[in-house]
C-alpha cells in the first residue's frame, strides 16, 4: 500500500469532486451493511475502527487549501482528530423495520460532510428487526476511489469470525499544521515542476518517436470522442431535473446465480445482464411518467478504473467516466440484452477512457480555474442521465467483530440535476441494487425498485425458456443419433432365421 503522507496534494480527479459539490449535490459515497446480531457496544465498535486507522492514514487527515488559488488542495494531518466525531451511534425505534432503516439512511446521506474535518463518518445502528444491526459508512469521493481504491470498508472487515489482535495504540501523532506561507510555497513548487514534467515527457517522445506518434494518435482520437460526446447531450427526461439536498434510499436484493443463468443462456456478461435489467426498469418508470420511449436511448455514466497494474495502491482516484447506452425503447428483454451487449462491446473498444485519462493527466498541471473546466468536460452532467456503477464484491463471508455480514448495499451520489443513481454490488452469492434518489423528484422510488425486480424476472424467464428449449432440442438430437446407431444391428437381427 502506498504511503499516504502529510501534505500530499489532491490529484486532479480528486480535486474535481470538490469542485462539483454544490449545496444540493453532495459528493459522498458509501454503503449500508447489515450484520447478524447482537450489535457490539459503541466503545467496542469505536475501538475496533481506531485500531484499523493505521491502514488508512488518509482518514486522519483533512483538507488544506492554499491561498490565492496556488494549486490544488492538500491532505494534512488533523491535529484535533477525534474518533468520537466520526463514529456515530444510534438506534431504530421499535419495530426496527426495513422502512425505518431506509429513512435513517436517507437522512444521513442528506447531510454534507464538514470540510474542516476528515471527510468520513461511520454509523453503528442498533435495534434492527430480527436481532440484527447495521452499519452505514459515508466518505467523500475525493477521499476514496469507489472502483479500486482503499477505504475504511476494505480494512474494517475480517475473513474469519475471530479478528486478529491489534495494538490499542498505534502511536500516531499529527504532523504540525502547515502555515499559509508553506501551503503557498508548496503550490509554487507544483507550478515549477510542471514544465519539468512536460520536458521529461518530450524527451521520452524523442527517444521513442514511433511509439509516441501512435500514442498521440490514440490520445487524440480519445479526446475527440470525449469532445463529440460533449457536443451530444443526453436526452431530456424526468430523471434530469433540479434537485434538493434531501435523499431517499432503497435497495433491491437478488441472486448472483440468476444473472449467471441469464449470461449462460442468452450470452453477454453478468454486467450486461445487470444493465439490461436497469434499462428495462427505467423504460417502465418513464412510461409511468407519461414519457414516450419509442427510439429513446438513455445514457448511463459508468465509472471505469484506469488504474494500471503498476499503479495499484497509489494515491487518489484513477477513474474515467464512460457513457454507456441504455436502450429503454426495446420492449423484448432478450433483444434489450443483445443491444446492451453490443453497446458495451463498442464502448470497451472505444477510446473514451483514454481521452478522459489524457484530460485528467493534463489537469494535473492546471490551475484551479482550468481544473474546473476540465472537470465539466469529463464529468459534465449534460452528458448522462444517471450514474450506474457495478462493483464485484467478495464471494465469501466477511465478519465484523465476529458477526457475519449478511448484506451490503452500495450507495452512490447525485450530481446536479440528477434525481437517481444506481450502485450495484455482488457479495457472497447476492447482488444488491442500491438506489439513491432525490426526495421530492422520485417519491415513487419504491415503485422503481419493484420495476427492477420485474425486469429481472422477465429476463430470467426468457433465459430459462431458452435453456429448456436448448435442452429439449439436444435431447431429440441425441435420441435421433442413438436410433441411427442402433438401426444396423436391429436390421441384422431381423434378417437372422
d(CA 185, CA 220): 34
Cell of 447: 415503485
Residue owning grid cell 500516531: 172
N-terminal to C-terminal alpha carbon distance within the chain: 85
Cα atoms in the 13 Å half-sphere on the side-chain side of 264: 11
β-bridge mates for residue 8, sequence order: 75
CA distance 102 to 17: 26
For residues 11-24, one letter each, b for 16 or more C-beta atoms within 10 angstroms of the residue's C-beta and e for the rest, the string is: bbbbbbbbbbbeeb
* Residue in 410, 408, 392 with CA at minimum distance from that of residue 400: 408
The residues that are catalytic are 141
Half-sphere exposure of 227 (CA within 13 A, CB side): 8
Q: Tell me the sheet residues that pair with 302.
A: 322
Grouping H, G, I as helix, E, B as strand and the rest as coil, residue 72 is coil
Environment class of 177 (CB within 10 Å of its CB; exposed 0-12, middle 13-18, buried 19+)? middle
For the chain, how are helix, strand and coil distributed in percent, rounded to 5?
45, 20, 35
DSSP string for 211-245: HHHHHHHHHHHHHHHHHHHHTSPPP--TTSS---S
CA 194 → CA 59, 67, 314, 359, 494, distances in Å? 29, 19, 20, 15, 93
Helix (H) or strand (E) holding 330: none
DSSP-assigned letter for residue 112: P
Instruction: Return d(Cα 220, Cα 358) in angstroms, integer.
Output: 9
Cα separation, 316 vs 139, whole angstroms: 14
- Cβ atoms within 10 A of the Cβ of 370, count? 13
Amino acid at each position: 500500500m502506498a504511503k499516504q503522507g502529510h501534505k500530499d496534494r489532491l490529484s486532479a480527479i480528486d480535486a474535481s469532486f470538490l469542485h462539483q459539490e454544490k449545496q444540493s449535490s453532495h459528493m459522498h459515497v458509501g454503503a449500508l451493511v447489515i450484520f447478524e446480531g447482537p450489535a457490539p457496544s459503541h466503545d467496542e465498535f469505536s475501538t475496533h475502527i481506531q485500531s484499523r486507522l493505521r491502514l488508512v492514514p488518509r482518514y486522519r487527515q483533512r483538507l488544506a487549501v492554499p491561498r490565492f488559488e496556488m494549486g490544488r488542495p492538500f491532505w494534512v494531518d488533523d491535529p484535533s482528530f477525534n474518533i468520537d466525531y466520526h463514529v456515530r451511534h444510534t438506534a431504530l425505534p421499535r419495530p426496527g423495520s426495513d422502512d425505518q432503516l431506509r429513512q435513517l439512511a436517507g437522512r444521513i446521506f442528506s447531510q454534507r460532510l464538514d470540510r474542516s474535518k476528515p471527510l468520513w463518518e461511520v454509523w453503528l445502528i442498533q435495534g434492527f428487526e430480527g436481532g440484527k444491526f447495521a452499519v452505514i459508512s459515508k466518505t467523500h469521493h475525493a477521499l476514496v476511489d469507489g472502483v479500486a481504491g482503499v477505504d475504511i470498508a476494505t480494512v474494517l472487515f475480517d475473513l474469519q469470525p475471530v479478528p486478529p489482535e491489534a495494538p490499542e495504540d498505534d502511536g500516531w501523532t499529527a504532523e504540525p499544521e502547515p502555515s499559509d506561507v508553506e501551503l503557498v510555497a508548496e503550490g509554487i513548487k507544483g507550478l515549477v515542476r510542471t514544465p519539468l514534467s512536460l520536458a521529461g515527457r518530450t524527451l521520452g517522445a524523442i527517444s521513442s518517436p514511433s511509439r509516441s506518434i501512435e500514442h498521440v494518435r490514440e490520445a487524440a482520437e480519445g479526446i475527440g470522442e470525449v469532445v463529440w460526446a460533449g457536443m451530444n447531450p443526453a436526452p431530456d427526461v424526468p430523471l434530469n431535473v433540479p434537485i434538493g439536498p434531501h435523499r431517499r434510499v432503497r435497495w433491491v436484493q437478488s441472486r448472483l446465480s440468476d444473472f449467471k443463468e441469464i449470461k449462460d443462456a442468452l450470452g453477454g456478461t453478468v454486467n450486461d445482464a445487470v444493465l439490461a435489467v436497469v434499462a428495462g426498469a427505467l423504460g417502465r418508470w418513464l412510461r409511468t411518467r407519461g414519457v414516450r420511449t419509442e427510439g429513446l436511448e438513455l445514457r448511463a455514466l459508468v465509472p471505469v478504473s484506469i488504474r494500471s497494474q503498476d499503479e495499484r495502491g497509489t494515491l487518489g482516484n484513477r477513474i474515467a467516466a464512460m457513457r454507456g447506452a441504455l436502450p429503454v425503447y426495446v420492449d423484448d428483454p432478450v433483444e434489450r440484452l443483445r443491444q446492451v451487449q453490443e453497446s458495451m462491446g463498442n464502448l470497451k473498444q472505444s477510446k473514451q477512457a483514454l481521452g478522459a485519462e489524457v484530460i485528467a493527466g493534463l489537469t494535473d498541471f492546471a490551475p484551479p480555474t482550468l481544473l474546473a473546466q476540465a472537470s465539466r468536460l469529463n464529468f459534465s452532467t449534460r452528458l448522462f442521465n444517471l450514474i450506474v456503477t457495478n462493483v464485484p464484491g467478495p464471494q465469501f463471508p466477511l465478519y465484523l467483530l465476529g458477526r457475519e455480514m449478511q448484506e451490503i448495499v452500495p450507495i452512490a451520489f447525485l450530481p446536479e440535476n440528477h434525481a437517481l443513481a444506481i450502485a450495484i454490488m455482488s457479495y457472497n452469492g447476492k447482488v444488491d441494487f442500491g438506489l439513491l434518489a432525490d426526495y421530492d423528484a422520485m417519491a415513487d422510488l419504491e415503485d422503481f425498485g419493484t420495476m427492477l425486480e420485474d425486469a429481472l424476472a422477465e429476463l430470467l424467464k426468457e433465459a430459462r425458456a431458452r435453456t429448456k428449449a436448448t435442452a429439449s432440442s439436444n435431447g431429440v438430437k441425441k435420441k435421433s443419433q442413438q436410433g441411427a446407431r442402433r438401426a444396423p444391428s436391429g436390421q441384422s437381427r431381423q434378417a437372422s432365421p
